[in-house]
Amino acid sequence: GEDVEQSLFLSVREGDSSVINCTYTDSSSTYLYWYKQEPGAGLQLLTYIFSNMDMKQDQRLTVLLNKKDKHLSLRIADTQTGDSAIYFCADYNFNKFYFGSGTKLNVKP
Amino acid sequence: NAGVTQTPKFQVLKTGQSMTLQCAQDMNHNSMYWYRQDPGMGLRLIYYSASEGTTDKGEVPNGYNVSRLNKREFSLRLESAAPSQTSVYFCASINREMNTEAFFGQGTRLTVV
């Protein structure tokens, strides 16, 4: 099956940019997603990108996709304490979602 | 509100007990999923149902059974609960033809003692 990998932790200061990275193995992936999970809550979709795109921007969020390296990143500009959460990268392929282990973002005031 | 509804939100079971986790969506989605979330392991797929009347195993199906009762409902059953099944369970649904957003329920926190 597909492997999706992320680093487990990231710590930034309020106002800085955060960059969360993800790698995946299946080159036939069609859609790649970023989900946010706050403590005790379900998963909230932040953004997604089609596999034929290189970049997608949505307000403070920028997603970059490098298909050659199978690398996906999420940049959060002007990170706020409310952005503290776990961020999951997910790959949708052949009717299934494959999730990374999640990156816990800690934003220090 | 439209979305995915899971019940119960919390459950404590004794080893060997059985229970069914319920999931319903009102978005007319064809595909539904059950995941478990464990610390440091992300979400792992237990079973999924690509359409009404079909179910398939995911990565970690052992110890579980599912039923796609109709297009709206997809239940997960633990026949004989084990402590290793202590986890948070999430149901999700997607409109497969649209291939856009998967909607998740709020989760069921299950503890097996």
Can you tell me the distance from the alpha carbon of B48 to that of A74, in angstroms, rounded to the nearest whole number?
28
Task: Give the amino acid at A24.
Answer: Y
Contact B102 A102 (CB under 8 A): no
The Cα of A65 is separated from the nearest Cα of chain B by a number of Å equal to: 17
Q: For residue range B50-67, what is the model confidence (pLDDT) as tens digits?
A: 988 899 999 999 999 999
Judged by a CB distance cut-off of 8 A, whether residue A28 touches chain B is no
Q: For residue range A74-94, what is the model confidence (pLDDT) as tens digits?
A: 999 999 999 999 999 998 877
- A60 exposed, middle or buried (CB, 10 Å; 0-12, 13-18, 19+)? middle
- Sequence-distant (6+) residues with CB within 8 A of B100 are A31, A48, B94
Judged by a CB distance cut-off of 8 A, whether residue B88 touches chain A is no
Judged by a CB distance cut-off of 8 A, whether residue B43 touches chain A is yes
Residue with tokens 């084990």: B82
The Cα of B3 is separated from the nearest Cα of chain A by a number of Å equal to: 12
Residues of chain B short of pLDDT 70, as ranges, are: 1-2, 96-100
